[in-house]
Structure 1
Amino acid sequence: MNETLHLCQEWDKVFPLSEEVRHHKTTFTNRYGITLAADVYEPKKASGKLPAIALSGPFGAVKEQASGLYAHQLAKRGFFTIAFDPSYTGESGGFPRNVASPDINTEDFMAAVDFLSVQENVDPDKIGILGICGFGGMALNAAALDTRIKATVTSTMYDMTRVNANGYFDEEDSEELRFQKKEALSKQRTIDFKNGNYASAGALPDEIPDGAPQYVADYILYYRRKRGYHPRSQGEGKGWNVTGCQSFLNMPILQYSNEIRSTVLMIHGEKAHSCYFSKDAYQKMMDGNPVPDNKELLIIPGAVHTDLYDQMDIIPFDKITDFYQTYLK
């Protein structure tokens, strides 16, 4: 049984629609019975069976933002693309709202591959994925599991299990600090159950707090300004549930990333606070990999984390296009 979704039929992206691209909305269901909402982008001039790419992210964003921008640009370059909202977020189904799961969100990518594999104008042997921010980690995790994925790009990647368990820059990497997090989340679950609802952690503020780290300011300048604002992002302004990422504390992703045989391109900004996620994940992926020669880490000089969300003069679309054209053929 498919969950009935109510999809916005108006163009509500943070970028304009090109005359070179045909767009429509669609839905598909993942292995957990959650119906996902997606935007389909097709190049108008292309014909025959096309290479296809499924995209999602950043973590907390919706498909009308960065993933849609990437999907739209890649469609202009000849690919059949879909940008989807992960389970429990945006226009996709699932309850409670505004929660995440390393397992279910990895499955979301594989369900998108299911969908692409049966489209009449898609070549099922030429399917890639692209994940941004926290969904870069999920994309890499899916590539380690699903051999139908022939090429994977991660952009400005977060390892959400690592940052939840260890804090930023691993500054909270101790049993005692993890116990304190677990204890607080466990108590919150009891409170939520008594109240009959899930407490929200809250979205980013509209103004940059005094003394905020630069990356927090960068997030605010994207999510809370005209540049990237969308009313459905960040849990429709409520943020994640307080307990929404609890499972990430105990279920690391990328366990077998060093066994990925398909090709991978990881892209990150040199000045991004999150750059260590990609550097470390790349090194782990390469250690003992049976097929290391088709893996690449590309560092963009001077770029910060959110530059790779939407800055057209910084995102290396020509490189990404060449990568997919090379390996989806």
Structure 2
Amino acid sequence: MQLTHEWDKTFPKSDRVEHQKVTFTNRYGITLAADLYRPKNDEGQHLPAIAISGPYGAVKEQSSGLYAQTLAERGYVTVAFDPSFTGESRGVTYGDNQEVRNLASPEIYTEDFSAAVDFLGLQPQVDREKIGAIGICGFGGFVLNAAAVDKRIKAVATTSMYNMSRVTANGYFDAMTKTERTETLEQLSQQRWADAEAGKFALSGMGLPESQDLTGEEPEFLSSYVDYYKTERGFHPRSINSNGSFTATNALSLMNMPIMTYIDEISPRPILLIAGEKAHSRYFTESAYQDAAEPKEMMILDDLVHVDLYDKVDLIPFDRMDAFFRENLK
């Protein structure tokens, strides 16, 4: 793997933490690239740790890295990782040593969080009995899925959570009809023939529009995504949302394999769910809160939209997140 070692994040580097590029391997043999953040002068300590990823289609140089660095400033060892098939992380090879990229898998994305826990628990500065996890946007759903099965995750939080299997399978607000679902699956099935004949997986080409191409008639969430991913605010060349698209058949596994089926089994470990009042995705957080067992807490933040919780450090409730993990990772 060729990792960049210069600081190429979308946020400024803190002088209060140590930063290190690292790699680790998940249960499927896929090597993940990550950024490890540690409080300065942490030698000889056994600190709580947090694994972080998201948003869906983003990379560790964006929101997850910002969260990781900020929480490291508060005394945690944190790791922000690129999920499998994304950013600097590897995929799997096929054919003539071609590598699968820009692919989502609910099972593998869930496993990636557990692999990050493996990695953190092997660090000399980390108390492996004090490991939590955070998922942002689509990785909010995947982190809850991971926490349900991986009992080493002692506390879990989400911000601007998406349930990616639900929205892919049923559409926004579950508005997709059975006929529409069948038609979509027919198209995806035919695309598999095209990919098999070509010997490679085609990209969907359905990336975000450029900021100059917006008309002003778009829904708020689309213009907000463009404002983050396609401008200096959050653009990163390795981010799928900034500079590409997922594969054309990406929806297949998401449509067929629901995540968060066992969210109630996170209990008795605590859950903190955070969303903006005006976020189009708010209903995912509210549904997760309803399905989860105690102990659980939901924060709905006045006036905020989905993307506000990606990078607006004055609006992201880091004080509450810090208190939540400090209370529950002890």
1:130–1:139 Cα contact (<8 Å) kept: yes
Amino acid at match of 1:108: D
**Which residue of the partner structure matches residue 173 of structure 2?**
169
Deviations 1:277-297 (A, max 9, x none): 000111011xxx3xx1x2101
**Which residue of the partner structure matches residue 91 of structure 1?**
88
How far, CA to CA, are the matches of 2:194 and 2:166 in structure 1? 26
Comparing 87-96 with 199-208, which one deviates more in the overlay?
A: 199-208
**Alignment of 1:247 onto 2:243:** no
Deviations 1:150-183 (A, max 9, x none): 01010100000000011111111x3211111110
1:144 match: secondary structure: helix
Match of 2:200 among 197, 200, 207: 197
**Alignment of 1:209 onto 2:206:** no
**Which residue of the partner structure matches residue 314 of structure 1?**
315
How far, CA to CA, are the matches of 1:122 and 1:187 in structure 2? 48
Amino acid at match of 2:214: P
**Which residue of the partner structure matches residue 70 of structure 2?**
73
Match of 1:44 among 40, 59, 71: 40
Amino acid at match of 2:249: T
**Which residue of the partner structure matches residue 21 of structure 1?**
17
Deviations 1:262-291 (A, max 9, x none): 111000000000000000111011xxx3xx
Deviations 1:189-227 (A, max 9, x none): 111111222221232111253321110000000000000
1:13 match: secondary structure: coil
**Alignment of 1:265 onto 2:272:** yes
1:268–1:275 Cα contact (<8 Å) kept: yes
Amino acid at match of 1:19: D
In the TM superposition, structure 1's runs of 4+ consecutive aligned residues that sit over 3 Å from their partners are none
**Which residue of the partner structure matches residue 58 of structure 1?**
55
1:7 match: secondary structure: coil
1:40 match: secondary structure: strand
1:218–1:306 Cα contact (<8 Å) kept: yes
1:89–1:235 Cα contact (<8 Å) kept: no
1:243 match: secondary structure: coil
**Alignment of 1:148 onto 2:145:** no
**Which residue of the partner structure matches residue 110 of structure 1?**
114
How far, CA to CA, are the matches of 2:120 and 2:315 in structure 1? 29
Amino acid at match of 1:212: E
1:57–1:133 Cα contact (<8 Å) kept: yes
Amino acid at match of 1:275: R
Paired residues in the alignment total 318
**Alignment of 1:32 onto 2:25:** no
1:14–1:227 Cα contact (<8 Å) kept: yes
Amino acid at match of 1:209: L
Match of 1:123 among 117, 121, 127: 127
1:60–1:234 Cα contact (<8 Å) kept: yes
**Alignment of 1:188 onto 2:191:** yes
1:14 match: secondary structure: coil
2:155 match: secondary structure: strand
1:54–1:128 Cα contact (<8 Å) kept: yes
1:55 match: secondary structure: strand
Match of 1:237 among 228, 243, 256: 243
Identity of aligned residues (%): 54
2:208–2:242 Cα contact (<8 Å) kept: no
How far, CA to CA, are the matches of 1:303 and 1:282 in structure 2? 19
2:168 match: secondary structure: helix
Give the C-alpha shift of residue 45 in structure 1. Answer: 3.5
Give the C-alpha shift of residue 235 in structure 1. Answer: 6.5
Amino acid at match of 1:191: A
How far, CA to CA, are the matches of 2:179 and 2:264 in structure 1? 30
Give the C-alpha shift of residue 148 in structure 1. Answer: 0.3
2:116 match: secondary structure: helix
How far, CA to CA, are the matches of 1:238 and 1:224 in structure 2? 11
Give the C-alpha shift of residue 242 in structure 1. Answer: 1.1
**Structure 2: tracts of 5 or more residues without a match:** 93-99
Amino acid at match of 1:132: I
